Amino acid sequence: MQKSLQLQAAMSAEFGVCVFDVTLDCEDGAAVGSEAEHAALVARLAQSAVAEARVAARVHPVDHAAFAGDVATIAGEAGHRLCHLMLPKCESVDDVLAAERALERAGAHALPLHVLIESPAAVQQAFEIAAHPRVQSLSFGLMDFVSAHAGAIPATAMGSPGQFEHPLVVRAKLEIASACHAYGKVPSHCVVTEFSDLGALRSAAGLAASRFGFTRMWSIHPAQIRPILEAFAPAADDIDAAAKVLLAAAQADWAPINFHGVLHDRASYRYFWQLLVRAQRTGRAIPDSVRHWFEDAGAIAH
């Protein structure tokens, strides 16, 4: 966890912006019987992180005996330093409501929730979960999703390229991405477990970004971070084109324009604006001609 925070600080200095979140894990990170001690460690690490850091914590599921203690300790002591709290094994909006009540008891009244969708029942509830105002993002838990099917989905679907081929897994990913986009939330793609195979990672990240509608992706190894950023960042030519269209639109007071023989209006302006926001978040250079629009913190907020 300490190494992850150090890497985040180093890459933030390199790119001029924090390009990935660090999630301090209690669910799989805590040894059985040491959950309280681990939660206290997570709280201390979050409090000690530099001011620009984006630090989150994954607590135990709401039906786990350690859940209440996790939230009370981590959100209660370090909620002001967290960018969000990650809720695993979320089955329905009732679990979101339970987590929200726990956060309120801890005094973390504004802390967003990121939710892990990890079962077929949860996929069926994805739209209702995404609609909750406290929920900021949905993540797909691939391995738990596959294992929840009692062997009906082969183990190959937990890896690549199988996770992009099996119909039930593909359906789950599309439901999660669609639910997020319906309510203005962030869909976050699952991990690629073949962490030593950067070719598999690049392929998976490219598909997640270009074909499945995801705008974020989990990493489980430092070597995965840069390939993920590259896959999710807009191309330099697209950044330049977006800036030119938006400049022409601004000169026309945002009325429809004919730009090199192509009609553009507020729908495409919104698309190109979002493309530039994504470029900024992934550490890409934005043309000087439009940079002033993105100096406002509200325009580049995560």
Render pLDDT for 106-156 as a digit per residue (tens, 0 to 9): 999 999 999 999 999 999 999 999 999 999 999 999 999 999 999 999 999
pLDDT given for residue 196 in this prediction: 87
- Specify the DSSP element, H or E, that contains 131: helix 126-131
Where exactly does CATH 3.20.20.60 map onto the chain? 20-232
Output the six-digit token pair for 261.
């023989």
**How many residues are listed for the chain in this entry?**
302
Residue 182: HSE in the Cβ half-sphere, 13 Å Cα cutoff: 14
What contacts 270, CB < 8 A, 6 or more positions away? none
144 marked as binding residue: yes
Q: Which residues are CB-neighbours of 69 under 8 A, at least 6 positions away?
A: 35, 36, 39
Q: For the chain, where are the E strands, in sequence order?
A: 22-25, 55-58, 82-87, 113-117, 135-140, 186-189, 216-217, 257-259, 262-264
- Per-block mean pLDDT, blocks of 10 residues, the chain (302 long): 95 94 97 98 96 95 98 98 98 98 98 98 98 98 97 96 97 98 98 91 97 97 95 96 97 97 97 95 93 65 36
pLDDT of residue 247: 97
Show the CA angle centred on residue 243, arms to residues 251 and 240, nearest 5°.
145
Q: What pLDDT score does 271 carry?
A: 97
Q: In whole angstroms, how far apart are CA 253 and each of 165, 247, 262?
A: 46, 10, 18
CATH fold group of domain 20-232 = TIM Barrel (3.20.20)
- What is the residue type of 51? A
Give the whole-angstrom CA distance, residue 212 versus residue 84: 24
The amino acid occupying position 85 is L
Distance CA 208, CA 140 (A): 11
What local confidence, expressed as pLDDT, does residue 186 receive?
A: 97
Residue labelled with tokens 């370090």: 78
Full strand arrangement of the beta sheet holding 82-87: 22-25, 55-58, 82-87, 113-117, 135-140, 186-189, 216-217
Task: Provide the 8-state DSSP code for 170.
Answer: H
In whole angstroms, what is the distance from residue 269 CA to residue 189 CA? 26
94 labeled binding residue = no
Looking at residue 296, its pLDDT comes to 57
pLDDT at site 188: 98
- What is the number of other CB atoms lying within 10 angstroms of the CB of residue 30? 20
| Calpha distance 99→7 (Å, rounded) | 30
